[in-house]
C-alpha cells in the first residue's frame, strides 16, 4: 500500500503518468499477476531521475517492467512502484554507423525503422518480443546473434536517481541471457547499437524471414512469456521438456505449449501459481529423465522470487 504522502508526491510529479492498484495481468504478456501498488510512466529522463530519488527517500521498492515479456508476475499484491519506460520511444541515427534506441522501443518499431532506412545489424530483434530495455537487460538473442554483439554503449539511471551514466560495452560483462556489472535497481534508459548501411529490400527480407520462422515455431496466438528456460549448453530446453513427456501438459489454465515445449501458454484463466507449478514440474521431470538442469530464463516479479 502506497502511503498517502507518497501517493500525493507521485501524482504531483507524474500527473496522469501514475496509476494505483493496477493488475499486473494487464502489463505482462502471460496475462497473469496480482495488483501492483502503483505503476509509473515518466515522460523523460528528468522525471525518471526525480521518481527514483523520490522512491529512494521514501524507502519504497521499484520494479522495472517493460513490454511485459520474459516476466512472470506472482498472484499476490506487489509492494512498491512498477516503472514503465513506455514513453521512451525515440530512435536516432548517429554518425559513424550507430543508432541510439530508447528503452521503450518495441521490436516492431525498431524493425520498421531499420527497414525504412536500410540499416542492417539489428534484424535479429524482429524475432524477439518486448522492448529494447528488456532485451539489453537479458542479453536477448537468437541462435548465433545476441544484443551484446551489436551494443556499443548503454545509458543507465542509477538506482537512487543520482545520475545518468553511459557505459561502454567493455565495461559490462554479457553472458547468456544476462548482463552483469550494473547495480541492483539500475534502470536501462537506452542503448547505442552498431548498424551498417544496406538496402531496404535486404533488411526487409531478413526481418521477414525471422518473423516467418517465429510464426512457424512459436505459439503466437495465445498469451505466453516467451522462452521459460535457458537452453543448456549443447542442447535445447524445449527438446528436453518434450523428451520428458510434458509437451501439452496442463496445470489449471496454464499449458506447456504443444507447439514449442519451452513456452508456457495461458489457455484461459491461468494463475501465476499454475505457471510456477509447471516450471517446477518441468525442472524435476527433465532432471529425472536426462539428468539436465533447467535454469529459468523468465524473470519472476513478486513473492515467489
Is residue 239 annotated as a catalytic residue, yes or no? Answer: no
Q: What is the rounded (10 degree) CA torsion for 139, 123, 226, 215?
A: -160
Catalytic residue among 29, 224, 227, 257: 227
Is residue 198 annotated as a catalytic residue, yes or no? Answer: no
Contact 184, 64 (CB under 8 A): no
Is residue 204 annotated as a catalytic residue, yes or no? Answer: no
Task: Report the alpha-carbon distance of residue 150 to residue 161 in Å, rounded.
Answer: 27
CA angle 126, 147, 212 (to 5 degrees): 20
Residue 184 main-chain phi, psi, to 5 deg: -60, 130
Residue ranges of alpha helices (H) inside the chain are 4-14, 45-57, 107-117, 132-137, 147-150, 200-217, 237-243, 272-290
Catalytic residue among 177, 186, 190, 198: 177
Task: State how far Cα 178 lies from the chain centre.
Answer: 11
DSSP bridge partners of 196: 120
Total residues found in the chain within this entry? 305
Q: What is the rounded (10 degree) CA torsion for 22, 25, 28, 33?
A: 100
Q: Which residues are catalytic?
A: 177, 227, 297
Amino acid at each position: 500500500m502506497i502511503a498517502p504522502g507518497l501517493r500525493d508526491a507521485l501524482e504531483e510529479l507524474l500527473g496522469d503518468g501514475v496509476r494505483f492498484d493496477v493488475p499486473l495481468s494487464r502489463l505482462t504478456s502471460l496475462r497473469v499477476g496480482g495488483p501492483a501498488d502503483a505503476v509509473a510512466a515518466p515522460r523523460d529522463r528528468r522525471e525518471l531521475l526525480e521518481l527514483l530519488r523520490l522512491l529512494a527517500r521514501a524507502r519504497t521498492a521499484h520494479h522495472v517492467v517493460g513490454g511485459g515479456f520474459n516476466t512472470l508476475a506472482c498472484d499476490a499484491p506487489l509492494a512498491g512502484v512498477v516503472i514503465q519506460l513506455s514513453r521512451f520511444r525515440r530512435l536516432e541515427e548517429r554518425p559513424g554507423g550507430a543508432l541510439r534506441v530508447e528503452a521503450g522501443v518495441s521490436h516492431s518499431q525498431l524493425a520498421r525503422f531499420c527497414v525504412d532506412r536500410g540499416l542492417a545489424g539489428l534484424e535479429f530483434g524482429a524475432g524477439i518480443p518486448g522492448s529494447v530495455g528488456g532485451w539489453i537487460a537479458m542479453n536477448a538473442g537468437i541462435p548465433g546473434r545476441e544484443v551484446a554483439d551489436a551494443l556499443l554503449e548503454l545509458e543507465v539511471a542509477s538506482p537512487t536517481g543520482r545520475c545518468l551514466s553511459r557505459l561502454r560495452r567493455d565495461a559490462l560483462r554479457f553472458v547468456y541471457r544476462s548482463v552483469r556489472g550494473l547495480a541492483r535497481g539500475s534502470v536501462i534508459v537506452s542503448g547505442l547499437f552498431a548498424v551498417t548501411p544496406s538496402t531496404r529490400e535486404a533488411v526487409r527480407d531478413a526481418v521477414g524471414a525471422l518473423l516467418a520462422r517465429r510464426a512457424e515455431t512459436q505459439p503466437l496466438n495465445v498469451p505466453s512469456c516467451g522462452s521459460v528456460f535457458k537452453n543448456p549448453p549443447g542442447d535445447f530446453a524445449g527438446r528436453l521438456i518434450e523428451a520428458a513427456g510434458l509437451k501439452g501438459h496442463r496445470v489449471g489454465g496454464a499449458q506447456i505449449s504443444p507447439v514449442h515445449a519451452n513456452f508456457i501458454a495461458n489457455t484461459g484463466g491461468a494463475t501465476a501459481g499454475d505457471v510456477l507449478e509447471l516450471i517446477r514440474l518441468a525442472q524435476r521431470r527433465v532432471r529425472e529423465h536426462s539428468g539436465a538442469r533447467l535454469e529459468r530464463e523468465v524473470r519472476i516479479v513478486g513473492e515467489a522470487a
